[in-house]
Amino acid sequence: MSKVVISTADAPAAIGPYVQATKAGNFLFTSGQIPLDPKTNSLVTGDIKAQAHQSCRNLIAILKEAGYDASDVIKTTCFIKNMNDFVAFNEVYAEYFGASAPARSCVEVARLPKDVLCEVELVAYKD
């Protein structure tokens, strides 16, 4: 199985020893995306909705670069800082992934990189 690194300027560059995504065969595995604006490399400030939008936009940009779209997503893992934001996070998440509804885990965590409110990663598959 071939392994290809996926990279796009339309999503933030990695801030550590990892890549934005790796394509292995027909699968695409993304690294977690936090609400960094790829044009300025600065954090999107605001509430969970503003941060969730940016995290999801980053994922969509990576999917597009790899030749995938939201309908190809089979699993997401969502990390949120406060489970009280679950409903608001879901409202935003549904705008990007609701139509194709992949399997998902969503967990509250004590802390995320750069103290953001959310981080999302995904696995996609395309024939």
- Rounded Cα distance, 113 and 64, in Å: 25
Q: Which one of the listed residues 56, 78, 106, 118 is annotated catalytic?
A: 106
- Answer whether 124's CB lies under 8 Å from 63's CB: yes
Closest CA to 78 of 99, 62, 102, 100: 102
Any catalytic annotation for residue 56? Answer: no
- The dihedrals phi and psi of 37, each to the nearest 5 degrees, come to -75, 120
Give the span between the Cα atoms of 85 and 35, in whole angstroms: 15
Would you tell me how many other CB atoms lie within 10 Å of the CB of residue 122?
28
Provide the annotated active-site residues. Answer: 106
